[in-house]
Amino acid sequence: MTHYAFDHILNEEHRMIRDAAREFAAQEIAPVAREFDEAEKFPLETVRKMGEMGFMGIEVPEEYGGAGMDTLSYVLALEEIAKVDASHATIMSVNNSLFNYAILTFGTEEQKRKYITPVASGQAIGAYALTEPSSGSDAANMRTRAVREGDVYVLNGRKSWITSGPVADYVIVFAMTQPEKRHKGITAFIVEASWEGFIRGKQEEKMGIRASATSELGFENLRVPVANRLGEEGQGFKIAMTVLDAGRIGIAAQALGISEGAYEYARRYVQEREAFGKPIGEFQGTGFKIADMKMRIEAARSLLYNAALAKERAKTTGERFTLPASMAKLFASETAVYCTWAAVQIHGGMGYSKELPLERFYRDAKITEIYEGTSEIQRLVIARLETGLRLI
C-alpha cells in the first residue's frame, strides 16, 4: 500500500522498527491470533517475546530497560502489530502509553527503576485502573477511597473494565483522598498485584479483542506505602487525563492498523473475485468503498502522525497535546469501524466466515470507539478546546 505524505519523514530508525514489527507480527502473531481469540486466552508467550524485541517500552530510555525511541517509532510499531491482531496491540498500548508513560512522566527515580524496567522488557505486565462500576465517562466521580495512616494509604474500592486486569503485575490506581475536593481530591498510586487486599474479579467475556484479558479489580484494606504514591496528593485527575492523551494516540495507532489490515484484504479481493463476468472492483458500489477506505486511512494517518509529532515536541516544551490526540483517536476509530464493515461487506459470505480474519477485525474495531474515552467524549474534548465553552 502506498502512503503518500509521510514516507519522507521516516528516518532509518523508524523504518527499522516498523519493519521489525511487521516481520514479528507475520511470524509470531498471525499464526496464533485466531486460536487465542477463540479461546479467549491471554498470549503470555508472545507478549514476553514482544518485550524482548523492545516493543513494550519503545519510548522508555535505555537506562530503564526500554528501546529509547521516539513517539513516531512507537506508533509505527503498534500500527504493524494491529494490522494482524488488535488484542496484542491493546496489551502493547496499555504497557507503553498508559503504564510506562504515567511513571516516566510523573514517577520518582526509584519508581521508574522498580516498575518501568520489568514492564518495558516484557517481564511484567502493567495496567491502568480509572473506571469504576458507577463512573466511566464521568471519571472524576470515582468512589474508591485512599486514607492515609502514617506511612501507608489504605485503599478500598472497585475498578472495572481493566485491560490486563487478570494478569497485571503492577497497576496504576486512582482513588479519592479528599472526596470533598472532587476532582482535585484524587490521587494516583502504583499498586502491586501480590499485595494483600488486591482482588481480581472474573475475566469479562467480550465481543472483540478477546485475547486481551479484562476484569474488575477490588481493593480491601490494601496498604500502599507512601513511596508508591504517583505524583502529589490531589494531582491524580491531572495525571489520569494527561496519561489518557498519550493513551489515545496508542488507540489511534491500533485503529489505523486494524483499518489497514482490513483494507489490504479488500483491495486484493476486488481485483481477483469476479461476478457477472468481471472483477467486482469494476462495480461502483465496490470500487467506491475502496476509494472511501483509502481516503479515510490516509486522513487517519495524517491526524495520527501529527499527534505523534505533537507528543514528541511536548517532551521538551511540556505543552499539552490533547487536541491532536483526541482528533486522531476519534477519526481513526471511526475509520476502523467503517473499513472493517466495508471489508466484510465486499467479501460477502467469506467475510462473515472464520476462514478469514475479517470478522475478527470487525469485532475488534468496535472497542476503539469506546475505550480510553468514547467517540462522544472525544467530540466533547475537541469542542470544549475549540470554543472554550463547557459543552456537556
Using CB under 6 A as the binding rule, the residues of this chain from 175 to 234 that contact ligand CAA are: 183
Using CB under 6 A as the binding rule, the residues of this chain from 1 to 60 that contact ligand CAA are: none
| C-beta closer to ligand CAA: residue 203 or 345 | 203
Buried b (16+ CB within 10 A) or exposed e, 184-213: ebbbbbbbbbeeeebebbeebebebbbbbb
Nearest-approach distance from CB 355 to ligand CAA, in angstroms? 30
Number of residues binding to ligand CAA, judged by CB under 6 A: 24
Query: For ligand CAA, which residue of 86, 139, 188, 211 counts as binding (CB under 6 A)?
Result: 139
Residue 271 sits in the site that holds ligand CAA (CB under 6 A): no
Residue 371 sits in the site that holds ligand CAA (CB under 6 A): yes
Residue 244 sits in the site that holds ligand CAA (CB under 6 A): yes
Query: For ligand CAA, which residue of 152, 154, 241, 385 counts as binding (CB under 6 A)?
Result: 241
Residue 173 β-bridge partners: 129, 189
Instruction: Tell which residue, 47, 208, 215, 29, has the closest CA to residue 118.
Output: 47
| C-beta closer to ligand CAA: residue 38 or 319 | 319
The secondary structure of 62-91 as a DSSP string is GGGTS----HHHHHHHHHHHHHH-HHHHHH
Binding range to ligand CAA, per CB under 6 A, among 113-121, 145-153, 202-210, 374-382: 374-382
Query: For ligand CAA, which residue of 122, 257, 357, 373 counts as binding (CB under 6 A)?
Result: 373
What is the C-alpha to C-alpha distance for residues 300 and 255, in angstroms, rounded to an integer? 9
Residue 137 sits in the site that holds ligand CAA (CB under 6 A): yes
Angle, helix 322-347 to helix 236-272, in steps of 10 degrees: 30
Nearest-approach distance from CB 182 to ligand CAA, in angstroms? 8
Binding range to ligand CAA, per CB under 6 A, among 25-33, 125-133, 291-299, 311-319: 125-133
Q: Known catalytic residue: 220?
A: no
**Number of other CB atoms surrounding residue 382 within 10 Å:** 17
Using CB under 6 A as the binding rule, the residues of this chain from 62 to 121 that contact ligand CAA are: 94
Residue 321 sits in the site that holds ligand CAA (CB under 6 A): no
What is the C-alpha to C-alpha distance for residues 379 and 84, in angstroms, rounded to an integer? 29
- Dihedral sign for Cα 216, 217, 221, 227, please: negative
Q: Cell for 141?
A: 466521580
Catalytic, out of 109, 372, 376, 386: 372
Phi, then psi, of 183 in degrees rounded to 5: -65, -20
What is the C-alpha to C-alpha distance for residues 292 and 277, in angstroms, rounded to an integer? 24
Q: Is 320 exposed, middle or buried (0-12, 13-18, 19+ CB in 10 A)?
A: middle
| C-beta closer to ligand CAA: residue 16 or 382 | 382
Query: For ligand CAA, which residue of 46, 100, 322, 333 counts as binding (CB under 6 A)?
Result: 322
Nearest-approach distance from CB 102 to ligand CAA, in angstroms? 11
Phi, then psi, of 215 in degrees rounded to 5: -155, 175
Nearest-approach distance from CB 160 to ligand CAA, in angstroms? 10
Element (H, E) at 126: strand 126-129
| C-beta closer to ligand CAA: residue 32 or 140 | 140
Residues marked as catalytic: 372
Residues at the contact surface with ligand CAA, assessed by CB under 6 A: 94, 128, 130-131, 137, 139-140, 162-163, 183, 237-238, 241-242, 244-245, 320, 322, 371-373, 377, 380-381
